[in-house]
């Protein structure tokens, strides 16, 4: 089977070459993202392998179907960028990687939180200039604070375990609570009102789109720290900016951004960034932005490649796959 691999980076290739070679699956790597324009590159392939910022809407799927593509292999857990209904209509199977390393994402969320509230990023820059003043670096303890976790899947539960290790009180909201997990579930309104730290670990759906907005931010404690390692559109970025400017939000740790597909994973250091909202967020002293980096560990990259190749091989040999989200026939 020949797979067109889009949005390829140097760190993707070793693991995919290793596992693909074992299963007789050939990957052709394209640095460009999959879009309606680049879908022409899929001619002569059996399937495509895509990531979070590739566009797999109805128009793209129509192109894929015209070129005989039978499989869309997501090398990520989320699938909000795929028009599943159109894939079903066109007879294209869709598989994903439901879990690769919940520890990678949960640990990154904590790393950003600690960096922010203990001003580690600012101290690092200062000491590079031999400035050892402590003025303006006062943080606060996590011990005894209340953390509200939205989404208690594998990543959310690992994050909760870490927070408990810091001696934090944990409350959570999930539409589908994890039975027997020993987690205290509350309503979203109560979570917003009581939490000193709020961390998002839920998928992006019609229900969760802009769940952090002007109305919900108004419910929050003054000085709340907000973490998002899930999907950018969970947060209304303009409302977030207003919350920061009004001092309602004390810290924002963002590994994702609603319009990230135009910027993340690329080097724009020599360019003028035309997204005013992103530029304003990055300029805020209490905002940390990383470019969808939370998944990026050696263990996670290996697991992503192994599972993706396994998914493709199962479809090829068995005609079905446990990680299939669109099946046909």
Rounded CA-CA distance 313/325 in Å is 16
Cα distance between residue 145 and residue 140, in whole Å = 10
Annotated catalytic residue 324: no
Q: Which member of 75, 96, 201, 260 is catalytic?
A: 260
Tell me if residue 121 is catalytic. Answer: no
Q: Which among 292, 306, 314, 324 is annotated as catalytic?
A: 292
Q: Is 189 helix (H, G, I), strand (E, B) or coil?
A: helix
Strand pairing report for 93-95 and 324-326: antiparallel
How many angstroms separate the Cα of 36 from the Cα of each of 24, 41, 254? Answer: 29, 10, 29
Instruction: Give the DSSP letter of residue 327.
Output: -
Sign of CA dihedral 283, 248, 263, 75: positive
| Catalytic choice (93, 201, 231, 258) | 231
CA distances from 229 to 38, 142, 226 (A): 28, 19, 10
Helix then strand then coil, % of the chain, to nearest 5: 40, 15, 45
Active site residue 260: yes
Going along the chain, which residue ranges are E strands? Answer: 2-5, 26-29, 47-50, 71-74, 93-95, 146-150, 169-173, 197-200, 224-228, 249-254, 287-289, 324-326
Any alpha helices (H) in 129-265, and if so which ranges?
A: 154-165, 188-194, 214-219, 237-245
Q: Any idea which residues carry the catalytic annotation?
A: 231, 260, 292
């Amino acid at each position: 089977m020949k797979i067109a691999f889009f949005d390829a980076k140097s760190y993707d290739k070793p693991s995919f070459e290793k596992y693909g070679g074992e299963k007789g699956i050939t990957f052709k790597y394209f640095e460009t993202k999959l879009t309606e324009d680049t879908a022409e590159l899929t001619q002569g392939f059996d399937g495509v392998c895509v990531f979070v910022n590739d566009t797999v809407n109805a128009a793209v799927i129509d192109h894929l179907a015209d070129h005989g593509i039978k499989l869309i292999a997501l090398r990520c857990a989320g699938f909000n960028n795929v028009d599943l209904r159109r894939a079903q209509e066109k007879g294209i199977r869709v598989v994903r990687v439901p879990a690769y390393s919940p520890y990678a994402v949960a640990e990154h969320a904590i790393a950003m939180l600690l960096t922010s509230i203990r001003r580690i990023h600012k101290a690092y820059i200062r000491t590079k200039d031999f400035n050892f003043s402590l003025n303006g670096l006062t943080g606060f303890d996590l011990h005894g604070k209340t953390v509200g976790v939205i989404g208690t899947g594998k990543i959310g539960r690992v994050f909760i375990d870490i927070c408990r290790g810091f001696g934090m009180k944990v409350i959570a909201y999930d539409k589908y609570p994890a039975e027997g997990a020993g987690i205290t579930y509350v309503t979203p309104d109560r979570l917003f009102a009581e939490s000193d730290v709020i961390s998002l670990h839920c998928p992006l759906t019609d229900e969760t789109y802009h769940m952090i907005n002007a109305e919900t931010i108004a419910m929050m404690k003054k000085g709340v720290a907000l973490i998002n390692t899930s999907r950018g559109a969970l947060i209304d970025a303009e409302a977030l900016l207003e919350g920061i400017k009004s001092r309602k939000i004390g810290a924002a740790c963002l590994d994702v951004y609603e319009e990230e597909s135009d910027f993340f994973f690329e080097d724009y250091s020599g360019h003028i960034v035309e997204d005013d909202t992103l530029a304003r967020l990055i300029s805020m002293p209490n905002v940390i932005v990383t470019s969808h980096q939370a998944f990026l560990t050696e263990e996670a990259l290996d697991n992503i490649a192994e599972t993706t190749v396994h998914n493709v091989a199962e479809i090829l040999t068995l005609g079905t796959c446990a990680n299939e989200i669109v099946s046909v026939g």
